[in-house]
Structure 1
Amino acid sequence: MSPRGVAIPDVRDRLFDAAERVLADAGPAALTSRAITTEAGCAKGLLHAHFSGLDGFIAALVLDRFARIARQAGQLPGQAGTATVAENLHKVALGLLTSVNPTVAGLAMTRPAASLTIRQALEAGAPGFTAIEDSIAEYLDAERQLGRLADGTDSRAVSLALVGSVHHLLMTGWAGTPDPRAQLKGLVTQLVAGHT
């Protein structure tokens, strides 16, 4: 436990990681401010000092994970001409699939205040699925200009299909269902098969 008054570096990341561990170990019912701060090894009031309650924290966690994968996807256009188109798309799609723990995303949807905060932030321009779609479409356009995709490839449609499918896999994945990573590889292969 960190002493009172001592600054904790990267406190947001530390709390976010702790929350994901609590959810993985004990499920959504166990996610409380106290459980998160205990798991993070910090003072009980720290979460409320940095966030507007548990709903604000959950919203910030989801938005942070979206921003992280949006940054990764934003690098994709610069990778045009490297590896294969399928490999590059698979990498970013896998990052999206693993960017937000399905339990966190589901929890955010069941908490109206968190869900509203997320929606308002995305509407105000916070990076999310739209930014990821834009980066993938820009990447596909670059690959088309290099001649690695057919001229008739609709980059927007392929991007929407990929991001929408990953979102579906993210929201429906739970114990006992097929491994979404295997499904994702097949999806990417099919999406680019007719365009390369």
Structure 2
Amino acid sequence: MDDVVKSLSTRLSPVADKPFDRPTREEAEAAVRTLIRWAGDDPTREGLQDTPKRVVKAFREFYSGYQDNPAEILDKIFSEVEGYDDLVLVRDIPFYSHCEHHMVPFYGMVHIAYYPNGGVVGLSKLARLVEVYARRLQTQETMTAQIAMALEDSLEPRGVAVMIEAEHMCMSMRGVQKAGATTLTTQFTGLFKDEPSEQVRFLTLVRHGKA
């Protein structure tokens, strides 16, 4: 990796990958009851009595990416590919995440491509990599770069391209309330960054067959 990529990789090392003390389940449930009161309702009424337990359980699923290590997901490289060294592209990987600013959902599709450098990774691993970063408190920009850097660090490919298209509920259901607006982010490294024609190829393949 060049110095720019190394710098970006270091800067994107998330706090999520460092150990810290978690509150107890009871403390988490108490926090939910506090928020219910803040919203203006009574957490002791029948319909809300079990809500704190349900919310804490849901949080474990929503944010399960904090428990996963991206390097472990990408640790198995297949080198017996009969000399294949052209582009590998997986498009339309669906994801759901939560905005770190308002803790409301954003969701959409991730498209990932890379040029192998002596080996490839199982295609399902790319979808799992997306899940690791999506299931954390995120911004779309950071998530885009984290996916690209994880592939750079583990595969050392000749180039990586990542595109994310998403709708943000913090923009659709609050604030300006513009439902249907789509945010697009990209991250390119190696061949994709150095050769504009490779970016064109990536974007063309991503859009192929779409209206």
Could you state the TM-score of these two structures normalised by the residue count of structure 1? Answer: 0.31
Point out the structure with the larger strand share: 2
Point out the structure with the larger helix share: 1
Tell me which of the two structures has the higher relative contact order, counting C-alpha pairs closer than 8 angstroms and 6 or more residues apart.
1
